[in-house]
């Protein structure tokens, strides 16, 4: 969305609940619920930047854990 990457290569976006609601054509309440579900599923990580400011939302690397397991499996077999 805004192509932000931190010093460690982690992808994130800055967006307010209101902006996300407008983008998804949903209420702020729905956006909060969906974000909580995504965070619970470990697909995103949210950082509050302060009252009235946009959240910093990290997209979790869903492949890194599997890649680590695969490397570990290769080491055990190899």
C-alpha span between 58 and 30 (Å, rounded): 19
pLDDT in tens, 58-71: 888 666 655 544 44
Is the pLDDT assigned to residue 41 strictly greater than 50? yes
**From the candidate CATH numbers 3.10.20.30, 3.40.50.720, 1.10.730.10, 1.10.10.10, the one assigned to the domain spanning 4-77:** 1.10.10.10
pLDDT in tens, 6-36: 888 888 888 888 888 998 899 989 999 999 9
Query: 27-59 burial by CB neighbour count: b if 16+ within 10 A, else e?
Result: eeeebeeebeebeeeeebeeeeeeeeebbbbbe
Is the pLDDT assigned to residue 3 strictly greater than 80? no
- Specify the pTM: 0.64
> Residue 8, SS3?
coil
Per domain, the residue ranges of the chain are 4-77
């Amino acid at each position: 969305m805004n192509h932000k990457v931190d010093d460690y290569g982690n992808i994130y976006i800055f967006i307010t609940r209101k902006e996300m609601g407008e983008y998804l054509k949903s209420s702020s309440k729905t956006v909060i619920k969906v974000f909580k579900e995504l965070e619970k599923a470990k697909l995103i990580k949210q950082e509050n930047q302060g009252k009235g400011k946009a959240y910093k939302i990290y997209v979790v690397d869903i492949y890194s854990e599997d890649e680590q397991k695969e490397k570990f499996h290769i080491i055990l077999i190899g």
